């Protein structure tokens, strides 16, 4: 019998399976899984299986099955996109489980978790249970231009919408954020290449730079947010959109990226008298780093006052994980993140 997710998170203090580091960082283990399945250990398949090892490990140690269940949806889509049809996705999941067990996890616990996740996904072939991203007409037009490798026309569409009175926040959320979400889905399904995905992201970053002069509203910036990625996170656009939208809403912000040390983070929070710290993680294997960063922020007198929010894929699929790592809240997109920041600051003001 497994304890509930909340209880399991409270009593399972090791950040990883005892004696192990993040299994997803060890490509050798991923190649061993592929070889056992009779699959060529290409770079893409090695990365895929490494992600599965990491997701399963974190799901075991946190009690959040959703992390591995989410990976299974991703695995199904990517194996199909890579035209790996001669191996059953269930066999891949169990092979990942056997490798995790071989590294010190309880074989029974691993098998039970894998079976639970497979049972919940039975008959669900849709990617992560989500269909095409709903796009407004402007977002659809923008994405069409980007996919046609016409960056100047894509930029002109956004500039014209801004000139015509479209709210900058709506452009960030309903156009750029929505288009990026659809780009990720298309890549996952193999409908666009990784090179196309990178191009789309680069164009969106260029458009965000175009919008930068329009962010500042002249409002008194009494509130400040410091934003940082967990080490190893490669997806920066989402957090940058949060930062830009907060700037547009009258906040001061400091974006530190993924390369900052913990000491740099603490120093920036103290220097800026930050009200909120936002931490983003893109993969389950980064959850332990998020927990560690929050621990340092809570323990240091210079930063203990700040409220902490977390976001990114792991916290989207397992919302209760945010509380488990010590955060004050989680949000699913840029607009809801702004609302969360306002709510947390308002609650703090009311209490003082």
Write down the pLDDT at residue 75.
94
* Alpha carbon distance 13, 220 (integer Å): 43
Same domain? For 95 and 167 the reply is no
Give a yes or no: residue 199 inside a domain: yes
For residue range 333-352, what is the model confidence (pLDDT) as tens digits?
899 999 999 999 986 665 65
Judgement on whether residues 243 and 346 belong to the same structural domain of the protein: yes
Domain that holds residue 275: 224-351
User: Which 3-state string (H, E, C) describes 42-81?
Assistant: CHHHHHHHHHHHHHHHHHHHHCCCHHHHHHHHHHHHHHHH
- Same domain for 182 and 153: yes
Whether residue 331 is found in the same domain as residue 233? yes
Query: Tokens 């191996």 map to which residue?
Result: 87
CATH code at 239? 3.40.50.280
Model pTM?
0.87
Which of 214, 241, 266 terminates a domain? The answer is 214
Number of structural domains found in the chain:
3
- Please report whether residue 249 resides in a domain: yes
| 25 compared with 200, residue with greater pLDDT | 200
Domain match, 297 and 337 both: yes
Of 189, 214, 239, which marks where a domain is finished?
A: 214
List pLDDT tens digits, range 112-126.
999 999 999 886 655
Question: Do 91 and 148 have their domain in common?
Answer: no
> Is residue 327 helix, strand or coil?
coil
- Residue 208 shares a structural domain with residue 299: no
Is the confidence at residue 177, as pLDDT, over 90?
yes
- pLDDT at residue 10 tops 90: no
Do the domain assignments include residue 78? Answer: yes
pLDDT in tens, 122-148: 866 554 555 788 999 999 999 999 999
Compare 241 and 8 and report the one with higher pLDDT: 241
Q: How is residue 82 annotated by DSSP?
A: T
Taken in order 290, 296, 297, 299, the sign of the CA dihedral is positive
Domain termination site, one of 105, 126, 147: 126
In a domain, 219, yes or no: no
pLDDT tens track for 47-76:
999 999 999 999 999 999 999 999 999 999
Claim to verify: residue 112 and residue 186 sit in the same structural domain: no
pLDDT for position 8: 22
Residues 272 and 315 in one domain: yes
Q: What is the pLDDT of residues 262-319, one digit of tens each?
A: 999 999 999 999 999 999 999 999 999 999 999 999 999 999 999 999 999 999 999 9
Of all residues in the chain, the percent with pLDDT exceeding 70 is 88
> What CATH number is associated with residue 147?
1.10.1240.10
What average pLDDT score do residues 234-256 get?
A: 91
Q: Supply the pLDDT for residue 90.
A: 94
């Amino acid at each position: 019998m497994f304890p509930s997710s909340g209880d399991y998170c409270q009593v399972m203090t090791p950040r990883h399976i005892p004696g192990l580091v993040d299994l997803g960082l060890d490509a050798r283990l991923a190649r061993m899984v592929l070889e056992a399945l009779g699959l060529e250990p290409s770079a893409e398949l090695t990365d895929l299986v490494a992600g599965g090892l990491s997701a399963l490990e974190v799901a075991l140690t946190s009690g959040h099955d959703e992390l591995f269940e989410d990976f299974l949806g991703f695995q199904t889509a990517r194996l199909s996109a890579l035209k790996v049809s001669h191996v059953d996705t269930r066999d891949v999941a169990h092979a990942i489980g056997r490798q995790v067990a071989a590294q010190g996890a309880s074989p029974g616990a691993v098998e039970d978790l894998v079976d639970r996740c497979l049972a919940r996904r039975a008959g669900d072939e849709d990617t992560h249970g989500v269909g095409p991203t709903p796009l407004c007409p402007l977002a659809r037009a923008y994405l069409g231009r980007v996919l046609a490798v016409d960056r100047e026309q894509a930029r002109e569409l956004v500039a014209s919408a801004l000139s015509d009175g479209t709210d900058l926040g709506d452009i960030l959320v309903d156009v750029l954020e929505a288009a990026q979400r659809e780009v990720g889905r298309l890549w996952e399904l193999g409908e666009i290449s990784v090179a196309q995905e990178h191009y789309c992201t680069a164009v969106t970053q260029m458009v965000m730079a175009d919008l930068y002069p329009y962010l500042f509203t002249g409002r008194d910036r009494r509130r400040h947010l410091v934003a940082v990625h967990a080490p190893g996170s490669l997806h920066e656009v989402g957090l940058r959109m949060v930062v830009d939208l907060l700037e547009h809403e009258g906040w001061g912000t400091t974006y530190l990226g993924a390369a900052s040390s913990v000491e740099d983070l603490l120093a920036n929070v103290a220097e800026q008298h930050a009200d909120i710290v936002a931490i983003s993680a893109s993969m389950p294997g980064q959850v332990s780093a998020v927990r560690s960063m929050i621990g340092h922020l809570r323990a240091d007198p210079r930063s203990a006052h700040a409220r902490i929010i977390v976001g990114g894929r792991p916290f989207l699929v397992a919302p209760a994980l945010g509380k488990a790592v010590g955060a004050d809240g989680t949000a699913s997109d840029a607009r809801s993140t702004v609302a969360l920041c306002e709510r947390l600051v308002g609650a703090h003001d009311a209490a003082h």
